[in-house]
Amino acid sequence: MNKKIVYLIHSLPSGGSENVFLRTLPKIKNTDNIVVTLRGKGSLFQNFIEAGIPVFEIGQKNFLDLSSYVRTLKILKEIKPDLILTNLLHADIYGRFFIQLFTNYRVVPYLQTTYNFKRYWPARLFEKISKYLVKEYLANSEAVKKFYINNYSINSNKIKVIPNGIDIEFYKNITIDSNYKKSLGIKSNHFIISCVANLHQNKGHFYLIKAFAKLYKNNHKIQLLIIGDGPERERLKIMSSEYLNSKNIIFLGKRSDVAQILKCSNLFVLPTFFEGLSNAIMEAMTSALPIITTDIPENRELITNNFSGMLCPTKNHLDLANIILTLKNDPTKRTFLGLNAAKKIEEEYDINFIISKWENYFKKYGN
């Protein structure tokens, strides 16, 4: 009999965690993988259904929505899960303070980021308060594991790491043509910089746009593609409009063709302040793109400076601009970095290898 695994999450937007589950869950053998969303369905809901992953929607309005707790108990009674993995803050709170209190189901938080930014202090406070309720954690990177050990004094034996996996063959088979580039607004003979990230303050778009503006003064044949959406969108668009290069900054919004966009790019940049194990960086690595990202522990797990990418300080647009210019003028270095990055993904993060880790982990649950 298959193990029944529930993945509890806020909703299913097109975000990093959600896309990891979408490409991973259908491939795990000997399990019935079921997603339960606390709020809405999200833009990826239909993708999960088409992939054969059942999705239950609780439709919780807020934490005071008492009827949602009744619906949760009813859904879990119907599923009878062997394990519930909670994903991200909302689900972690729900799992620790409600499901564990009113059911006997095993709940394991799956840690996917450090929340190492001042505005996320409630998430850090929650961990300090509730860590005593957790018997076991999963983490998606060694850097996240170390952060929780060092900042919350959690025993290292309580945290097992299962990283994100990448479908390498999918990226190898991608082809594009000139018409596709035109549809994105890409001009011929221009150097294309791409950034894939939700438009949140902690992703560092502000510094990327400032760096791009500095470069543009002496390099007009460059374009910046910003892929993603979020609360910072309007502020960033207003900011970019103040520069002479505004027509060369293209906001593409949320996209389902990120892999194709990466194929059109010459360089990937992500000046983020904190991460977990960045899917965006991993996808760029798989595409053999040269990468510039910030010198933080989470990124150092993926990128070796000057070998598989370039690391720069956070919140420093001048250093970022200089590194971009250096790589723009050195195609040999770009090729070297891109090939080494792709090799690291192939050796350590191939999805088939990661699937085997999940299957081994689930063996201890259920019958």
- Which residue has tokens 């594991």? 145
Annotate 207-268 with DSSP letters as a single string. Answer: HHHHHHHHHHTT--SEEEEEE--STTHHHHHHHHHTSTTGGGEEEEES-S-HHHHHHT-SEE
Please state, for a pLDDT cut of 70, what percent of the chain lies above it: 99
Mean pLDDT of 150-170: 96
Please state, for a pLDDT cut of 90, what percent of the chain lies above it: 91
pLDDT-derived band of residue 367, with 50, 70 and 90 as boundaries?
low
Annotate 37-79 with DSSP letters as a single string. Answer: ESS---TTHHHHHHTT--EEE----STT-HHHHHHHHHHHHHH
Q: How many domains does the chain have?
A: 2
Question: Would you say residue 367 lies in a domain?
Answer: no
Beta bridge partners of 223: 192
Question: Would you say residue 220 lies in a domain?
Answer: yes
Question: Would you say residue 22 lies in a domain?
Answer: yes
Provide the angle, in degrees to the nearest 10, between the axes of the packed helices 279-286 and 331-348: 110
The more confident residue out of 119 and 249 is: 249
Q: How much is the pLDDT for 174?
A: 92
Together in a domain, 24 and 160: yes
- Give tens-digit pLDDT for 212-225: 999 999 999 999 99
Record the pTM.
0.93
Together in a domain, 112 and 155: yes
Together in a domain, 226 and 81: no
- Give tens-digit pLDDT for 298-355: 999 999 999 999 999 999 999 999 999 999 999 999 999 999 999 999 999 999 999 9
- Give tens-digit pLDDT for 174-195: 989 889 999 999 998 999 999 9
Together in a domain, 250 and 317: yes
Evaluated on CA atoms 119, 122, 125, 130, the torsion sign reads: negative
CATH number of the domain encompassing residue 336: 3.40.50.2000
Residue 259: domain span: 168-348
Mean pLDDT of 34-57: 95
Mean of all residue pLDDT scores within the chain: 95
Closest by alpha carbon to 44, among 58, 60, 23, 28?
23
Question: Would you say residue 216 lies in a domain?
Answer: yes
Closest by alpha carbon to 107, among 85, 88, 78?
85
Together in a domain, 303 and 203: yes
Residue 109 pLDDT > 90: yes
Residue type (1 letter), 185: G
